[in-house]
A and B are shown apart, each in its own frame.
Chain A
Amino acid sequence: MKRTLLAGMLALLMCFGVLSFAGCGGDPEQLETVRIIAHSEMEDVLEPFFQKFMAENEDIRIEVLYGVDQLDQMDTQYPPDLLFIGNVQLDSIAHYFVDLNPLMEDYFGGEAEAQAFMDTFLTGTAESLVRDGKQLVLPVNANVSLLYYNEDLFDAEELAYPTNDWTLSDFVENGKKLTKQEDGRYTQWGASTTQGWWGEYLIYARLFGGDFYDASGNLALNTPAFKQGIQFFKDKAEGPDKFAPNPGSTAVGQGDLGGFASRRTAMELGGHTGNWPSYNALDNFNWNVAMIPTADSNPDGIGAELAVEGYGIYTGALNKEKAFRVLMYMFSEEGQYAFGSLGRLVPTTTYRDHVLATPYEERSNPKNMEAVFAQMEKSAVLPTDPNFQAVAGAPVYNTIATFLNGGYADVDAWAEAATKAAEDYLATVS
């Protein structure tokens, strides 16, 4: 009896052992599968789109991993083949991406043909996803800073809508007219204030000719142009020309009224194209966009930020050739329209021409898509420093918040404090 029990246990252990090793060999079906990372809200559109591809390509099975953390998935036995990444984050994980150039040359049958495909991407978009001459990612979405405005609030004041030739003076003048108070409490703001990240303050700094880093890659927060931008950001939220909330204000009736989507804020400078679906989900919210105003003293300054995100092939992908075929399918006309229907701004000439061909009045908001594409032409990508996102976020923004609340004597004192905060942070990073 005892021997039978021991033999049984031994057999069970062997079974476990065999099963464990069986997993290491790889399931042939899994090797035919291309795994793609995607946001959860994309499911309704992507599923039928990929089903159609699988019906036409029986040798490929597509599995979309919705709403998962791709860094976690990369360590698994069957990692994602197509990774999703933006140009801002790319530098920290660029080594995980395959160079797409040779794959494109094979697929299109030559360098010139591959280049013709690349030329369909709008200026600066695909380029911002190149590292060391390698095209690591192809963009399916772009975000560009714009001036968002609420048409109803402008109509109520009988003010003309913002135009592409606005300067910051027009922005201030209209912002003040659109700011309303009752019994000392603000009931409407001329503009919102973007807090916590660089989404707005960097635009002003760049409009005046500054930038986060200089040409050598050193911090450039202490330059006159950058400081001018930060002073403008402060004056907008605090001071005689105030027409936006000060995030640090603690008095009743002086705070943020819920941002641009609250319909009690007339304008938002910067914004994010990713917010379009949520704005359009609101009933009777009549909003539109114009290009970012220029600084009166520096009309050629480029303030708008261009950020792109898209798909690239993971170096650990089990089947890179099949993954590439799926990637190319995403950039078919049908694929681009599918991403467009998800509220993505696909940065290609194909998608742009498709959007602009729709009559102005038949478009969903924002109707002024001409301004969107024009702004993409007049915009700049963010620095390609892997630490930019971390430094420009809390360390530097916190000093700006302190400045807004009178924590520094003047903008020069702010610049010193901000530079020190950024340097302190960078010292902790290896």
Chain B
Amino acid sequence: MNRFSSALKKFKRSRTSVFLMFAAVPIVGYLLFYFYPILRTLMLSFTDKTMTRPDVNVVWLDNYIRIFRNETLLGKALVNSIIYAFGSGVITLVIAFFMALLLNSKVKGVGVFRIILFLPFVIPTFASAAIFKGLFDPNSGLINVFLYDNFGIQGPGWFKSEDTALLTMILMSIWGFGIQMLIFLSALQNVPASLYEAAEIDGASKTRKFLSITMPMISPMLFLNVVLVTINGLKSFNTGYLIGGVEGNPNNSTLLFPVLIYRIAFNTEYGGRRLGYASALAYIFFLVIMVFTAVQFIMSKFYVNKDVE
């Protein structure tokens, strides 16, 4: 008993106990809401579990085999998600970066501009997508009607045409560049002014200062933003669901991978909620995201300045 109480006393005084006291809530939260679902999804992916049948059989790799052999939408949804993530990611980063550069300049009322540019980020995707859907409607939307009435031009089919639907979704995604802009802005504001002053004394041009000081100094934040927009783009659901519905209209051209998973897992009209099959799809997608993130970490060696803390 004495040995137990002394061990308890020692534990209470240790750094581990302090760590556990502070971290207990997030750890429990993580285990319950992240670790358990991840594990449960993996287990489900080896079964034929549906929500419409009481019996569950272990089918091992059958779902995975079936997906690679027969799921004609696998490639389509994967390619759509990658194009969407790449397109929206590049455009978002470029716009966010230039906006951050503008907001970093010393002009009057810059605070107001910061709020204005950040505001779209707080508008829910569902609301903004609904507005964009009206705007981009090829038959009656403001853009095409303006083009037709003023220039006699038949505008693109936007989200109603297979050729342009994904591009329209990418254009709509620019709306949410606010958080990336803030990350860039905070990085730009942390670049020591002394570096620019020293460069000026050496006669460096604006381009040289940008390439040799600004870019290397903000490169860790650029890397963070690249990883964030890629993961956000790949797991994007709302825009695809609102524009093309669970069907990915027109003709699966807006079908993103998470929408495909949702449609198989939770939409009764599409095969009776096949949780096992959808879980296998989710794990395949998880691996895809992991590969993309790993590639980005490898590529970061070429452009991230490790000396910047």
Task: Give me the interface of A with B, judged by CB distance under 8 Å.
Answer: 2, 71, 89, 92-93, 95-96, 196, 247-256, 386-387, 389-390, 393-394, 397-398, 401-402, 421, 424-425, 427-430
Contact (Cβ within 8 A) B247 A196: yes
Q: Which of the residues B59, B139, B155, B246 comes within 8 Å of A254, measured between beta carbons?
A: B139
Q: Specify which chain B residues have a CB less than 8 angstroms from the CB of A401 in the assembled complex.
A: 249-251
Q: Which of the residues A196, A255, A389, A421 comes within 8 Å of B137, measured between beta carbons?
A: A255
**Which of B108-116, B206-214, B266-274 participates in binding chain A?**
B266-274
Contact (Cβ within 8 A) B268 A89: yes
A-B contact pairs, 8 of them (CB 8 A): A71-B51, A92-B52, A93-B272, A252-B140, A254-B139, A390-B269, A390-B270, A421-B72
Given A71-B51, A256-B139, also A428-B70 (CB < 8 A): yes
Chain B's nearest CB lies how many Å from the CB of A71? 5
Contact (Cβ within 8 A) B160 A394: no
Contact (Cβ within 8 A) B148 A389: no
Given A389-B269, A394-B270, also A428-B139 (CB < 8 A): no
Residues of B in contact (CB 8 Å), total 44
Q: Does B300 contact A (CB under 8 A)?
A: no
Contact (Cβ within 8 A) B156 A196: no
Q: Specify which chain B residues have a CB less than 8 angstroms from the CB of A394 in the assembled complex.
A: 246-248, 252, 270
Q: Specify which chain B residues have a CB less than 8 angstroms from the CB of A71 in the assembled complex.
A: 51-52, 268, 273
Chain A's nearest CB lies how many Å from the CB of B201? 59
Q: Which of the residues B54, B70, B144, B246 comes within 8 Å of A252, measured between beta carbons?
A: B144
Q: Which residue of A lies closest to B153 (CB)?
A: A252
Contact (Cβ within 8 A) B145 A252: yes
Q: Specify which chain B residues have a CB less than 8 angstroms from the CB of A254 in the assembled complex.
A: 139
Contact (Cβ within 8 A) A250 B271: no
Q: Which of the residues B53, B272, B277 comes within 8 Å of A428, measured between beta carbons?
A: B277
Contact (Cβ within 8 A) A92 B72: no
Task: Give me the interface of B with A, judged by CB distance under 8 Å.
Answer: 5, 48, 51-54, 59, 62, 66-67, 69-72, 137-140, 144-145, 148, 154-158, 160-161, 245-252, 268-274, 277
Q: How many A-B residue pairs have CB under 8 A?
A: 101
10 nearest A-B pairs in the assembled complex, by CB-CB distance? A255-B139, A250-B157, A427-B70, A250-B138, A394-B247, A252-B148, A92-B272, A92-B52, A424-B72, A93-B52
Q: Which of the residues B145, B161, B273, B277 comes within 8 Å of A250, measured between beta carbons?
A: B161
Q: Which of the residues A249, A390, A398 comes within 8 Å of B139, measured between beta carbons?
A: A249
Q: Specify which chain B residues have a CB less than 8 angstroms from the CB of A390 in the assembled complex.
A: 269-272
Contact (Cβ within 8 A) A251 B154: yes
Chain A's nearest CB lies how many Å from the CB of B102? 36
* Cα(A76)–Cα(B175), bound, Å: 41
Contact (Cβ within 8 A) A424 B70: yes
* Cα(A394)–Cα(B144), bound, Å: 28
Residue among A96, A250, A251 with the highest chain B CB neighbour number at 10 A: A250
Q: Which of the residues B59, B145, B250, B268 comes within 8 Å of A248, measured between beta carbons?
A: B250
Chain B's nearest CB lies how many Å from the CB of A413? 15
Contact (Cβ within 8 A) B139 A250: yes
Q: Which of the residues B139, B251, B252 comes within 8 Å of A251, measured between beta carbons?
A: B139
Q: Which of the residues B48, B161, B250, B271 comes within 8 Å of A387, measured between beta carbons?
A: B271
Chain A's nearest CB lies how many Å from the CB of B152? 10
* Cα(A237)–Cα(B160), bound, Å: 16
Q: Which of the residues A93, A250, A387, A397 comes within 8 Å of B158, measured between beta carbons?
A: A250
* Cα(A398)–Cα(B255), bound, Å: 13
Contact (Cβ within 8 A) B247 A255: no
Q: Which of the residues B48, B69, B148 comes within 8 Å of A430, measured between beta carbons?
A: B48
* Cα(A2)–Cα(B69), bound, Å: 63
Taking A252-B139, A398-B252 as known contacts, 16 extra A-B pairs with beta carbons closer than 8 A to each other, sorted by chain A number, are A71-B268, A71-B273, A95-B53, A247-B160, A249-B138, A251-B154, A255-B139, A255-B140, A390-B269, A390-B272, A394-B248, A398-B247, A401-B250, A424-B72, A429-B274, A430-B59
* Cα(A290)–Cα(B70), bound, Å: 44
* Cα(A289)–Cα(B138), bound, Å: 32
Q: Specify which chain B residues have a CB less than 8 angstroms from the CB of A421 in the assembled complex.
A: 72
* Cα(A398)–Cα(B5), bound, Å: 71
Q: Which of the residues A93, A253, A393, A429 comes within 8 Å of B269, measured between beta carbons?
A: A393
Q: Specify which chain B residues have a CB less than 8 angstroms from the CB of A95 in the assembled complex.
A: 53-54
Contact (Cβ within 8 A) B247 A252: no
* Cα(A253)–Cα(B270), bound, Å: 33
Q: Which residue of B lies closest to A386 (CB)?
A: B272
Chain B's nearest CB lies how many Å from the CB of A370? 33
Contact (Cβ within 8 A) B154 A252: yes
* Cα(A235)–Cα(B196), bound, Å: 69
Chain B's nearest CB lies how many Å from the CB of A384? 14
Q: Which of the residues B69, B137, B155, B271 comes within 8 Å of A429, measured between beta carbons?
A: B271
* Cα(A92)–Cα(B272), bound, Å: 7
* Cα(A389)–Cα(B67), bound, Å: 21
